[in-house]
Amino acid sequence: MEPVPIMINGLPGNMAGIMFNAAMKDRRVTPVPFSLTGPDISFSDVQTETVTVRLLHPDSREEDIRDILERYPGLIMVDYTHPSGVNENARFYVRHGVPFVMGTTGGDRAMLEETVRQSEISAVISPNMAKQIVGFQAMMAFGASSFPDLFKGYSLQVKESHQRGKADTSGTAKAIVDSFRRMGISCSEKDIQMERDPERQRDVWGVPEAFLKGHGWHTYTLTSEDRTVTFEFKHNVNGRDVYTLGTLDAVLYLHDKVQNGDRGQVFTMMDVLKG
């Protein structure tokens, strides 16, 4: 199979940069030297480990993208931008008929999915691209559908810690909270405790110094009403490599779906795992 051309959007952001460098080492894909960037970025290009990538700003990208699509047929977008740009970026991809993998969290997720379903393209949309964590989410979702009210009467404490630059609450934490809610626990996304202070992350949480700028630690603690029973679920990720591996699998899965003629379909990482 010929390598799939991908455009990784969000440079000079950390996750987009790590994703670009990982893609350069994967023979299944070919990252193109262009990237959508935000209105607050003043410079025109960024240097990765191997190549110089030209940045496309909001005021010029409509014109630039036409040439890129002509040069790279079969292009798939990979979005690791900012939560504030999720919905506008999706409309941009749809407008130009480019399938995409949405790794960015935040935005109006219902509108995001509807944008794809009303279009001629398909996309993989997931709050988390780490396959093992997605599998954990699937187990929680199975528990919610199979054992409603399993934890009725229990209280839930959710704590999540991410690097200071993560602007929104963890999408994974939101999904797990929803599963626990369907298992009988009275809780909401507002109950999720966010940590973004590097000093507290290091001194209180125990996050290694080397990963303060890139980590995702989550703990879900359930306690019975009389406080005699406690369940605790935890997943701690240091670095971002696990997300790049899942994202690349999502790209190949989406490529196959597009080749098979799928249009207007929203896929998740659970679909990728099953496929």
Model pLDDT, residue 127 = 81
pLDDT in tens, 180-189: 999 999 988 8
Model pLDDT, residue 258 = 97
Model pLDDT, residue 101 = 98
Beta strands 155-162 and 192-195 are: parallel
Q: Helices 241-259 and 14-24: crossing angle, nearest 10°? A: 70
Residue 25: its H or E element = none
Contact 11, 55 (CB under 8 A): yes
Contact 112, 83 (CB under 8 A): no
Contact 55, 32 (CB under 8 A): no
Contact 90, 116 (CB under 8 A): yes
pLDDT in tens, 195-226: 999 999 999 999 999 999 999 999 999 999 99
User: Dihedral, CA atoms, 239, 92, 74, 267, nearest 10 degrees?
Assistant: 60
Structure tokens at 76: 């798939």
Angle at 246 between CA 187 and CA 268, to 5 degrees: 55
| Single-letter residue type at 251 | V
Residues of the chain with pLDDT > 90, as a percent, come to 90
Question: What are the residue ranges spanned by the domains of the chain?
Answer: 4-125+241-274, 131-238
Please check whether the two domains, 4-125+241-274 and 131-238, share a CATH topology. Answer: no
pLDDT in tens, 91-144: 999 999 999 999 998 899 999 999 999 999 999 999 889 999 999 999 999 999
pLDDT in tens, 240-265: 899 999 999 999 999 999 999 999 99
Q: Which CATH number fits domain 131-238: 3.90.190.20, 3.40.50.300, 3.40.50.620, 3.30.360.10?
A: 3.30.360.10
Structure tokens at 67: 């040439």
CA 219 from centre of chain? 19
Span 4-125+241-274: which CATH code?
Answer: 3.40.50.720
Separation of alpha carbons 242 and 222, rounded Å: 27
Structure tokens at 141: 């979702």
Beta strands 215-223 and 155-162 are: antiparallel
Q: Catalytic amino acids?
A: 162, 166
